[in-house]
């Protein structure tokens, strides 16, 4: 170990007050590491035997969620577990988690859900049911806002994907039929004499598309995990879709059998750990039985901890097989995401549309994908890319 590296480590251990004495200037990334540690450990005793934060996380749920994502990014999982437990004990998060009445009284939002899911493993048993109730309230609110629109957009796209020129009477699209036959207006009869009918193929309950959602559950993707799990449950309720929901870090977990309850899906995730996108794509590839009728959505910041070349090779193979593969860098409302720009560019070069998407636009995205529209063009139109 060099002297510079030794001084760097001492500076991180001792904190910002030791910077002048040690004479070491931290890099931008090291300052982020230092800030994550300072939020937890730069504390002084409080008046009532508690702690008074010098830096701290405050009471902001988004700030706590970001911090949980940061420590997973900068520290190994064993250290993350220790820091999470220290946070529960030192920063007042304990009070929220130990008192179901207080937790039940807070105004829940996506950030709070992300925090609760991230701390699920250290949450006291007597509070877990209250936490599930809080998560359930957020999910119900999101469902009210997004679920019906998703079903309408997707089922409409499925119907339109099956247009026919010989529809049964109940399946005629009268609006399109009239517009297609305006030139056949008969002044004598005072009406349109249709030359052809436009309508939907006979509706049936057979599976028309396969949807595979692959969700990166690393800490920085917490908000996306919440939204993607909800959308997975909504898509799973549409009988003409076969929906699979897969979450991954360095391991892959198939949560398809829990799609009936998005709260169960969320508590089946384990936010944190590394990221092996290649392994996730390999698992998802095995789920594909009809490539030309499959839409696969990879939701990830693309920071690959596995073999990058294998990930790109597998993505190319999926695209060449006919699978419509889409990479979402985030499914969230929280602004421009952090992501691996090199991997994003490489996927785009392979023909994989790669961009961030807000939850409100996700139903339209899925509708466009089901109709096999050009998704890159769609993103440019609706997302200003």
| Residue bearing the bigger pLDDT, 97 or 75 | 75
How would residue 3 be classed by pLDDT, with cut points 50, 70 and 90? confident
Q: Which range has highest mean pLDDT (86-90, 147-151, 176-180)?
A: 147-151
- Tokens matching residue 362: 């996700």
Q: With bands split at pLDDT 50, 70 and 90, how would you rate the model's confidence at 86?
A: confident
**Residue 329 confidence (pLDDT):** 95
Share of residues in the chain with pLDDT > 90 (%)? 33
Q: In angstroms, rounded to a whole number, what is the distance separating the alpha carbons of residues 361 and 351? A: 21
pLDDT given at position 60:
53
| pLDDT band at residue 353 under the 50/70/90 scheme | very high
| pLDDT recorded at residue 63 | 66
DSSP letter for 146, please: H
Beta-bridge partner residues of 253: 247
Band of pLDDT at residue 144, cut at 50, 70 and 90: confident
User: How high is the mean pLDDT of the chain?
Assistant: 81
Rounded to 5 degrees, what are φ and ψ at 326?
-125, 135
What does the chain come to in residues?
Answer: 385
pLDDT-derived band at 95, boundaries 50, 70, 90: low
The tally of CA atoms less than 13 A away on the side-chain side of residue 382 is 18
Query: Residue 383: its pLDDT value, please?
Result: 78
- Distance separating alpha carbons of residues 360 and 362, to the nearest angstrom: 6
Q: pLDDT, tens digit, for every residue of 321-338? A: 999 999 999 998 877 788
Q: Is 227 exposed, middle or buried (0-12, 13-18, 19+ CB in 10 A)?
A: buried
**Residue given tokens 């994907």 in the structure block:** 161
Q: What is the mean pLDDT of residues 357-366?
A: 94
SS3 content of the chain, % helix, strand, coil (to 5): 55, 15, 30
CB atoms within 10 A of CB 177: 17
- Read off the pLDDT band of 105 (50, 70, 90): low
Give the whole-number percent of the chain exceeding pLDDT 70: 79
Q: How confident is the model at residue 104 (pLDDT cuts 50, 70, 90)?
A: low
Integer Cα distance of 39 and 74 in angstroms: 14
In the 3-class helix/strand/coil scheme, how is 303-369 assigned residue by residue? CCCCCHHHHHHHHHHHHHHCCEEEEEEEECCCCCCCCCHHHHHHHHHCCCCEEEECHHHHHHHHHHH
* 134 or 358: which leads in pLDDT: 358
List the structure tokens of 207: 């599976």
Q: Who has greater pLDDT, 267 or 103?
A: 267
- Predicted pLDDT at 93: 65
**Closest Cα to residue 97, out of 79, 66, 122?**
122
Give Cα 9 to chain centroid, integer Å: 35
| pLDDT score, position 48 | 34
pLDDT digits (tens, 9 = 90+) for 26-56: 888 888 888 888 888 775 444 333 444 344 5
pTM of the model: 0.70
Tell me the pLDDT band of 340, cut-offs 50, 70 and 90: very high
CA trace torsion 87, 92, 97, 98 (10° rounding): 120
Better-scored residue on pLDDT, 40 or 224: 224
Question: Confidence class of residue 293 from pLDDT cuts 50, 70 and 90?
Answer: very high
How much is the average pLDDT of 149-176?
70
The count of C-alpha atoms lying within 13 angstroms of the C-alpha of 280, restricted to the half-sphere facing its C-beta, is: 33
What is the reported pLDDT for 128? 82
pLDDT over 80 (residue 84): no
Find, among 266, 193, 204, 268, the residue nearest to 240 by Cα. Answer: 204
Q: How far apart are CA 303 and CA 218, in angstroms?
A: 10
């Amino acid at each position: 170990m060099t002297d510079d590296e030794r001084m760097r480590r001492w500076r991180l251990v001792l904190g910002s007050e030791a910077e002048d004495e040690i004479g070491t200037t931290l890099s931008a990334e090291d300052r982020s590491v230092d800030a994550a540690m300072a939020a937890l450990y730069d504390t002084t005793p409080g008046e009532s035997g508690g702690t008074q934060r010098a830096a701290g996380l405050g009471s902001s749920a988004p700030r706590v969620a970001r911090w949980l994502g940061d420590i997973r990014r900068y520290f190994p999982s064993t250290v993350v577990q220790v820091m999470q437990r220290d946070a529960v004990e030192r920063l007042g998060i304990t009070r929220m988690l130990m008192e179901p009445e207080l937790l039940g009284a807070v105004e829940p939002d996506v950030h709070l859900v992300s925090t609760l899911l991230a701390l699920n493993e250290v949450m006291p048993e007597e509070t877990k049911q209250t936490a599930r109730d809080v998560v359930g309230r957020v999910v119900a609110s999101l469902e009210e806002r997004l679920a019906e629109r998703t079903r309408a957009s997707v089922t409409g796209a499925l119907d339109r994907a099956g247009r026919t020129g010989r529809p049964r009477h109940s399946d005629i699209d009268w609006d399109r039929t009239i517009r297609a036959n305006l030139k056949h207006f008969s002044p004598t009869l005072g009406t349109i004499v249709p030359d052809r009918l436009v309508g939907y193929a006979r509706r049936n309950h057979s599976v028309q598309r396969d949807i595979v959602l692959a969700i990166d559950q690393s800490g920085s993707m917490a908000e996306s995990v919440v939204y993607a799990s909800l959308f997975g449950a909504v898509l799973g309720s549409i009988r003409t879709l076969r929906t699979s929901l897969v979450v991954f870090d360095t391991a892959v977990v198939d949560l398809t059998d829990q799609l009936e309850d998005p709260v169960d899906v969320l508590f089946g995730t384990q936010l944190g750990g590394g990221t092996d996108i290649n392994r996730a794509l390999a698992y998802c590839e095995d789920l594909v039985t009809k490539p030309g009728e499959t839409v696969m959505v990879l939701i990830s910041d693309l920071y690959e901890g596995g073999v990058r070349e294998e990930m790109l090779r597998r993505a190319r193979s999926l695209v060449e097989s006919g699978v419509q593969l889409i990479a979402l860098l985030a499914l969230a409302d929280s602004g421009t995401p952090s992501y691996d720009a090199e991997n994003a560019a490489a996927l785009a070069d392979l023909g994989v549309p790669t961009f961030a998407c807000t939850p409100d636009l996700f139903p339209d995205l899925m509708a466009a994908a089901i109709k096999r529209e050009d998704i890159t063009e769609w993103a440019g139109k609706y997302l200003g890319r």
